[in-house]
Amino acid sequence: MPDVLCLRPEANFHAVGVTPPEGLDIIYRDSIDADVPDVMQQVRALVIPAVGPALSSDLFRSTALRLVQITGAGLDRVDQAVLTQEGIALANVPGGSNAAVAEYVTANAIAISRGFFAATEPLRDGNYAAHRAAMVAANLKGLGGLTVGIVGLGIIGLAVAERCHAMGAQISYHDTGPTRDSTALDRIGAQPHSLDDLLMTADIVSLHVPLIDSTRNLIDAARLALMKPDAILINAARGSIVDEAALAAALEAGRIGGAAVDVYSTEPPTADNPLLTLSATASARLILTPHIAGVSQQAFQHLFAQAWENVVRVLIDDEPPHHAVTTRLKLT
């Protein structure tokens, strides 16, 4: 009888130099494999990626599971209430992708604001001199001196703020969570704002909030209309935080300067997603990536190592997991 069901390939771990723990019988499956429900009844721990479709609550009822370990920060694949009812601990690895997400935000903000991304097609079309002249005349901006507005100043949001501050940006933020590290906020000179005020004043808006009822379509048509006409929106949080149709309309009408989108209301996005059907002009101000903002070799090394450490703590050491979201453990 296996000890652990892991819903990501074993090769993922070895590719970044992380060896799953010895002494445990680990079985690897895809979430759509037909035998997953049966295996779930037997194993004592489930290891899953943070990104993927929600898992049916029925999978977790009346099982031998003691731990669900997420190899990332996101918690929206599982029903926490059901895990609590069943006495199954849930743990994630918060903060493991901080540097990768901060790199994503700064790289895309610069690529859009300085026109790098939009320059490829004109040069391919033979318009080198004309496009260079247009870029020089546009007086394109780097991050230094711009205001970066962070929506959600948790662990990742703070890492993004610190990276942007190090590049010379002014930091404003909107956050309704617990009181943040005042020392860190003072160090980077971060200023709190209401969401609407932040949108009206920021040159770059970067989203780092979880997808919950209060954040669904948080950035809708009305809030996009508040943004500066040359402002850039970056969403590396969850797709449904932004109204995709409203964002597409704002880009098409030139009401905002550009956007970088890493996450979608449906993943993978369907062919009729409005962000995939923009005109060439609007598309030149939009960078799309496939939910990889937090993906780097260094991030995966940390996330995977911490995830397996928790599995060992619970199944071998009989200790509670680190970063427990629900903590009610079944007895061994």
- Closest to 257 in 3D by CA, of 299, 297, 205, 293: 205
Sign of CA dihedral 150, 152, 153, 157: negative
Q: What does 55-67 look like in DSSP terms, one character per residue?
A: PPGGGGTT----E
How many angstroms separate the CA atoms of 114 and 143, rounded?
9
Query: Where in the sequence numbering do the catalytic residues fall?
Result: 238, 267, 291
| E-assigned strand segments in 120-253 | 147-151, 170-174, 191-192, 204-207, 232-235
| Angstrom distance (rounded) from CA 50 to CA 98 | 15
State the Cα–Cα distance between residues 112 and 93, nearest whole angstrom: 31
Whether residue 44 contacts residue 65, with contact meaning beta carbons closer than 8 Å, is answered with yes
The upper half-sphere exposure of residue 322, i.e. CA atoms within 13 Å in the direction of its Cβ, equals: 16
